[in-house]
Structure 1
Amino acid sequence: MIQTLTESIYINGKWKEVESSQTQVIYNPATLEPITEVAYGGAQETKEAIDAASQAFSTWSEMTGRQRSRVLYKASEFMRKDAERLGKILTREQGKPLNEAIGEVKGAAGFLLWYAEEASRGYGEWIPSSVKTKRMLVIPKPIGVVGAITPWNFPSSMITRKLGPALAAGCTVVLKPSPETPLSAIEIVKIFEKAGMPAGVVNLVTGDAEAIGKEMLSNKEVKLITFTGSTEVGKYLMRESANHVKKVALELGGHAPIIAFEDADIEKATTLALGSKFRNNGQTCICANRLYVHESIAEEFTNVLKEKVLQLKVGSGFDQGTDLGPLISENAAKKVQAHLDDAVQKGANIVCGGSKWDGDLQGYFYPPTVISNVTDDMVVMREETFGPLFPIQTFSDEGSVIQKANNTDYGLAAYIFTENTSRTLRVAEKLDYGIVGVNDVFPAVPEAPFGGIKQSGHGKEGGHHGMDEFLEKKFISIGIE
């Protein structure tokens, strides 16, 4: 018998008792072994959490930014000091290598630190009037109760990227983590509790994703839905939010291209391409999904990349030296295989990988795979794979490759490898993406805005821009004599 985690739904400063008949099992994707059971909450628990957040809003929002920042500072410090333990929990439920998991936890703490600092900087605006008898100002006000829905691929950092700015702005939150990875969310809420977060400000509901989401959408007290996940679900949230004209902040799917120009430093570029594609086993929204290499360097680039990919170690995230852990589910592995089968059927060549993983573990593993001779009609060039499959296509001129890179409904992230300053600016300006990395494939940092355009969503996370999603601007016009 696995143990039921009694502390998995947190409402109004208290952990809710769990009935054994209302639980769900959490599995380790590397071993397929059950880890624990957590509460399977639904609409009723979500309504209770929203009520608690609504009641707490008046007090929390009226506190000074400095007062709110103290709680965020403490939470950030507790999280940073406990990064190794939290990283082990993350690896157990999500599968990524332990060093990546610890790095994610530290990065998540960094978002709390940044917004602890930003909490005191919710500046307003004084507008010079064109009329002598008027004085005009704009003041920022927190939007209200926030419904935060987070994914499984970064179960720590995606939470603090949403909670940090929301709490700094003066909002209260109901958090729904991914059903696959609730354990990291539970630990983060415990950290907020330890840091002295007032009751009702942060609430957690694990369980039935559909029921929780529907209550967030239908409840008038929820003023904003912030979501990271698939474009399909994002569109659903937009449609349903229209009933109450809720604000939505969406970070959705991507289809990121890398363009390696003829002047790229091949050694550096292949290392960066490797890091982008195979970080978290390709399960990141900004990882490269398409690699365009100039025809003059394509053969050398492919050979160097192949040698580096062959050195990657696949296995349990707890094993020393593991570079790639498991995929999150059987369906995720089937999707990678389907994309590979389609490409090979249409003429692609397998450079490396592409066969069944021969390790001892029974989890959802897939070997890192590179393919060449790729054409635009292949599914992998049109859809996000979200796994360790890397297609290479050659190009001959700048204009055509920019057109190909932009030929997608998505617009989250794109990358350029070049040593030419003029080309850097020229191409970066022409790429239709919310984020462009130049010789940099890890652009997400607390101090900078993160977000896409087109069907990759709208709104920003990170930087002072991230606060804007959680603030309304109130205009005050004063007549004077």
Structure 2
Amino acid sequence: MEVWAGNGWLPVINPATQEQIGRVPVMSRQQVRESIQCAMDAFQGWSKLPAKDRAKLLRDAAVVIYEEIDRLSRILTAEQGKPLSEARGELTMAAEYLEWFSEESRRIYGELIPASAVNKRLQVIRQPVGVVGAITPWNFPASMVTRKIAPALAAGCTVVLKPASATPLTAIALFEIFQRIGFPPGVTNLVVGSAKDIADEFLSNPIVRKVSFTGSTEVGRTLIRGGAEQIKKLSLELGGHAPFLVFDDCDLNDAVQGVIASKYRNAGQTCICANRLYVQSNVLEEFQYKLAAAVSHLKVGNGLDDGVDIGPMINTEARDHVINQVRDAVQRGGKVLTGGKIADVGLPGAFYSPTLLANVSDDAMLTREETFGPLIGIRSFESEEEAIRLANDTPYGLAAYVYTRDLGRVTRVSEALEYGIVGVNDPVPTVVQAPFGGIKESGWGREGGWQGIDAYLETKFISIRY
């Protein structure tokens, strides 16, 4: 990996202290183009490398991440803000993606098809797509990197990756590891700078055969339009607005902890975190009391400090969005059960108290728009049918959660929910061996599982007549 000085520098700011902790160069469009050409030059050799050799490099990178997880966690927390325990968990998953796809690289199988003539042989092979342009978000600056590049590299593709401008240091540390353990030059390429310029180059450059993006639905639409002229292959993991359904037969204490784990992890800055909380009416009062007590005990502060549960939001604009959603919900009849204010922790960062609202209306901003902050609102429901209707009343379809002990209800509700991921009594369903992705306006394609490597492969049919 090589990083060039370009058109100035981008400062990297610790969101808790607002101190500058580093800077990265703004690469020019020409330099991005050169990185893409480097990836193309390396593709022929990398794609022909035996799968076991590609697998070994991926495994070696995972081993180094495990060995250096303390150092990497502090880099991640310093630039992103999440507590160190969460940073360690994310880096563990980042290493697991490398491990998983190192194994999947050995299972890129073809097939033989029975021919319709004695002098023919029909076969199907799967080949790497080619050069991949990847764009990752700031909320998971380690695991999103490896979730994209590990399957691409395992498939035999080469990669040019742009990390989020707010959190590039974790990606730089990971790419230094890739260089250190011996990935051939040009196989892994890191570019930093203007998101628009880099994305435009990915979309317009015919060398880039596929673009993988995680981010907002609005940007996803722009990428779809931009890639249309070349019919560019796209993988898009976009916005979410997850419902969390609490039925009266569930273990309420377990459901409370489930909401805490889903909603308030990473200060609510998670695409699959619970955004709308629907509770069956006959347990509403008890559940609200238990959840409000649990939320009120969450500790807000610098993620580098011991015992912190909630770190800062990424910036003041993100916090202002949460403030506006709280104000709007209250104006429409909502009630603040706990939180609802800026958290004073003696630091200049964009801290906000973990917040729980009751009696949130169906037309509130909180009900209609993604939050991406430590805020959730409760609305009651009467029947299973009403819960499903409310849960599906959104253009998004990434993740949903259901708490119940009724096996029949588990089947009915999980199959009726219009989401790519459903957690049943499970607030953190993401694992490397399972597919991750949404339907409707939450994106195209899947990452993780065997499906994750399939997205970087072309299927070729060969008919041989002799």
TM bin, normalised by shorter chain, reads over 0.9
- Counting helix residues as a fraction of each chain, which structure ranks higher? 2
Corresponding residue for residue 225 of structure 1: 211
Given the alignment, which residue of 153, 178, 186 partners 2:139?
153
Given the alignment, which residue of 347, 350, 353 partners 2:333?
347
Mapping of 1:23-42 within 5 angstroms? 23-42=9-28
Mapping of 1:359-438 within 5 angstroms? 359-438=345-424
Q: Retained in 1: the 8 A contact 2:12–2:22?
A: yes
Q: Retained in 2: the 8 A contact 1:166–1:467?
A: yes
CA distance in 2, matches of 1:321, 1:407: 38
Instruction: Flag structure 2 segments of 5+ consecutive residues without an equivalent.
Output: none
Q: Retained in 2: the 8 A contact 1:450–1:462?
A: yes
Mapping of 1:169-208 within 5 angstroms? 169-208=155-194
CA distance in 1, matches of 2:105, 2:282: 51
CA distance in 1, matches of 2:367, 2:228: 33
Secondary structure in structure 2 of the residue aligned to 1:333: helix
CA distance in 1, matches of 2:81, 2:30: 31
CA distance in 1, matches of 2:239, 2:390: 18
Q: Aligned Cα RMSD in Å?
A: 0.9
* Shift of residue 404, structure 1, vs aligned partner: 1.0
Q: Retained in 1: the 8 A contact 2:3–2:190?
A: no
* Shift of residue 132, structure 1, vs aligned partner: 3.5
| 1:320-358 CA-partner distances (Å, limit 9, x unpaired) | 100000000110000000111100001000010012212
Given the alignment, which residue of 307, 318, 325 partners 2:304?
318
What is the aligned length?
466
CA distance in 1, matches of 2:323, 2:116: 65
Corresponding residue for residue 356 of structure 1: 342
Q: Does 1:260 align with 2:242?
A: no
Q: Retained in 2: the 8 A contact 1:298–1:394?
A: yes
Q: Retained in 2: the 8 A contact 1:165–1:466?
A: yes
* Shift of residue 450, structure 1, vs aligned partner: 0.4
| 1:293-343 CA-partner distances (Å, limit 9, x unpaired) | 000111111110011101100000011100000000110000000111100
Q: Retained in 1: the 8 A contact 2:344–2:351?
A: no
Q: Does 1:22 align with 2:8?
A: yes
Q: Retained in 1: the 8 A contact 2:115–2:121?
A: yes
Secondary structure in structure 2 of the residue aligned to 1:245: coil
CA distance in 1, matches of 2:244, 2:166: 30
Q: Does 1:47 align with 2:25?
A: no
* Shift of residue 283, structure 1, vs aligned partner: 0.3
| 1:401-455 CA-partner distances (Å, limit 9, x unpaired) | 1011111110000010001111101110000000001001111111110000000
CA distance in 1, matches of 2:70, 2:429: 24
Corresponding residue for residue 6 of structure 1: none
Aligned residue type for 1:172: T
| 1:449-474 CA-partner distances (Å, limit 9, x unpaired) | 00000000011100111011100000
Segments ≥4 residues shifted beyond 3 Å: 130-133
Instruction: Flag structure 1 segments of 5+ consecutive residues without an equivalent.
Output: 1-9
CA distance in 2, matches of 1:45, 1:268: 52
Secondary structure in structure 2 of the residue aligned to 1:85: helix
Corresponding residue for residue 232 of structure 2: 246
CA distance in 2, matches of 1:99, 1:45: 37
Corresponding residue for residue 71 of structure 2: 85
Q: Retained in 2: the 8 A contact 1:351–1:372?
A: yes
Secondary structure in structure 2 of the residue aligned to 1:375: coil
CA distance in 2, matches of 1:454, 1:126: 35
Corresponding residue for residue 285 of structure 2: 299
Aligned residue type for 2:52: R
Aligned residue type for 1:226: S
Corresponding residue for residue 99 of structure 1: 85
Corresponding residue for residue 447 of structure 2: 461
* Shift of residue 127, structure 1, vs aligned partner: 1.6
Corresponding residue for residue 110 of structure 2: 124
Corresponding residue for residue 440 of structure 1: 426
CA distance in 1, matches of 2:62, 2:164: 22
Given the alignment, which residue of 135, 152, 159 partners 2:121?
135
Aligned residue type for 1:303: Y
* Shift of residue 194, structure 1, vs aligned partner: 1.1
CA distance in 2, matches of 1:123, 1:296: 53
* Shift of residue 128, structure 1, vs aligned partner: 2.0
Secondary structure in structure 2 of the residue aligned to 1:411: coil
Corresponding residue for residue 111 of structure 1: 97
CA distance in 2, matches of 1:305, 1:132: 70
Q: Retained in 2: the 8 A contact 1:43–1:214?
A: no
TM-score norm. by structure 1 comes to 0.96
| 1:138-161 CA-partner distances (Å, limit 9, x unpaired) | 100000000000000000000000
Corresponding residue for residue 45 of structure 2: 59
Aligned residue type for 2:446: K
Aligned residue type for 2:205: N
Q: Retained in 2: the 8 A contact 1:350–1:370?
A: yes
Secondary structure in structure 2 of the residue aligned to 1:297: helix
